[in-house]
Each structure stands twice: as C-alpha cells, then as structure tokens.
C-alpha cells in the first residue's frame, strides 16, 4: 500500500514560524481571525486585510508569517490537524496493556473530540480544504498522526498486527471520510453530529478487530 504524502508546496509554506511567546500569540490570533471571518462572512471573504483587521495586527505583520491567503488558510488547517495529533498522543499507554476495544474507543474519542470542539469551525475548515485544493496533509503532520495511532495500537493486550503502518493509514482514512461526510450532512440536522462519536467507535472497533483477525489467519 502506498500512503506517501507530498511535501507542502512552496506557495503554501509560511514565511517563518513563531519562536517567542509573543509571536506565537500573534499567529494564534491570526488563525482565530481566519475562523471568525469564515464563520461571519463566508469563504470568499477572508482576505488578508480582513483577517489582519480582525486579529488586531497590521497587514505587514501578517505577511511576515504568511506570503499569501492560501498559505494562511493552509496554516489554519495544519493547526487543526496538529490538535488532532496532540489529542491522540495524550492517550495514556503508560500502564498495563488494554483490550483492543478499549483502545479503539480511545482513538475514536480523541479524533472526534477535536472535530466537535467547535463544529462550526470544523465545517468552515472542510470548505477551506476544498477551496485551496489541498486535502492531503504535509509529510510531517501525517507521520506524527500515524505514529500516534501506532503507539496506541501497540498497547493492545489481545491483538497484534503484521503491518501497523497499513492499519493506521486505513483507520485514519476511514475516520476522515466519516467525519467529512458527517459535517457535510449538517443540513440534514444536528443528529448527524450527535451520533458521530458512536459511529466513530463502531468504525474503529470493527475495522481493528477485522484487521487483527485477518493478520492472525494469514
């Protein structure tokens, strides 16, 4: 299975990353301003000027970090996925190994918790992903996300997998599809998101158990 992901195109790379706490706060304010403009005015409205005004910084300050609007939008997407990485990395695997079903629940809960923390913002970010034609993650974030899942799966007390890379890739792909479909269906009512956690757990549990059985039989 080829799960290779591309590096970030130059047009989407930030000019620089914040080093000091103050510059970090500035970038966070810019990210939040992007979300607020998207939610308040729609996808066509987040110009760099509007975002800078909303963040309370000059356009020149914004351009110190982001060369263009697309790079700014992509940075907000990456920040969202870094939150997801952090959520999965926080799953505790320091104690005794646990049943696979429990770990499946932990992964599902961590993944969904990030998506549901701000449902309106998540919906906006899916629109951003389509608008900049950049659904794939950067290599660094993807590898961290996959490694976080593998770390949890290695803690299973009653399961093993021959190819953890493949399993993590397929699991993350399935969760991404479920999430994108659920947020895309918001027009049909909030019940879609209300059941997202349960559906994510069933997906994780069923796939992981099936992949484990397949490995044991091969």
- Does 37 reside within a domain? yes
In a domain, 99, yes or no: yes
Q: Which CATH number covers residue 31?
A: 1.10.357.10
Is 137 in contact with 84 (CB distance < 8 Å)?
A: no
Does a structural domain hold residue 4? no
Q: What is the pLDDT of residue 85?
A: 96
Yes or no: say if 153 and 164 are a contact pair by the CB < 8 Å rule: yes
Compare 107 and 194 and report the one with higher pLDDT: 107
Q: What percent of the chain stands above pLDDT 70?
A: 84
> Is this prediction's pTM over 0.75?
yes
Q: Is residue 31 part of a domain?
A: yes
pLDDT band, very low/low/confident/very high, at 133 (cuts 50, 70, 90): low
In a domain, 208, yes or no: yes
Average pLDDT on 74-88 reads 92
What average pLDDT does the segment 149-167 reach? Answer: 95
Residue 15 has pLDDT above 70, yes or no: yes
Nearest to 45 by CA among 12, 14, 69, 24: 69
Residue with tokens 């790379």: 13
Q: Which domain holds residue 169?
A: 10-217
Those residues with Cβ within 8 angstroms of residue 21's Cβ, 6 or more apart along the chain or in another chain: none
28-43 mean pLDDT: 85
pLDDT tens per residue, range 195-211:
999 999 999 999 999 99
Q: Evaluate whether residue 138 is within a structural domain.
A: yes
In a domain, 2, yes or no: no
Average pLDDT over residues 16-24: 73
Q: How many domains does the chain have?
A: 1
């Amino acid at each position: 299975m080829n799960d290779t992901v591309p590096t970030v195109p130059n047009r989407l790379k930030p000019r620089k990353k914040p080093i000091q706490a103050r510059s970090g706060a500035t970038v966070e304010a810019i990210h939040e301003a992007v979300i607020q403009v998207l939610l308040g005015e729609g996808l066509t409205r987040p110009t760099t000027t509007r975002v800078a005004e909303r963040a309370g910084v000059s356009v020149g300050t914004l351009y110190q970090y982001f060369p263009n609007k697309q790079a700014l939008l992509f940075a907000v997407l990456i920040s969202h996925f870094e939150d997801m990485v952090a959520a999965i990395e926080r799953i505790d695997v320091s104690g005794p190994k646990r049943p696979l079903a429990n770990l499946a629940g932990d992964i599902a809960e961590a993944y969904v918790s990030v998506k549901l923390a701000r449902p309106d913002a998540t919906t906006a970010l899916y629109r951003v992903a389509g608008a900049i034609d950049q659904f794939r993650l950067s290599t660094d974030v993807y590898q961290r996300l996959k490694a976080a899942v593998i770390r949890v799966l290695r803690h299973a007390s009653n399961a093993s997998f021959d190819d953890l890379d493949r399993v993590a890739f397929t699991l993350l792909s399935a969760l991404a599809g479920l999430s994108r479909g659920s947020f895309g269906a918001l027009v049909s009512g909030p019940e879609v998101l209300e059941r997202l956690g349960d559906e994510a757990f069933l997906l994780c549990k069923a796939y992981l158990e099936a992949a484990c059985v397949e490995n044991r039989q091969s």
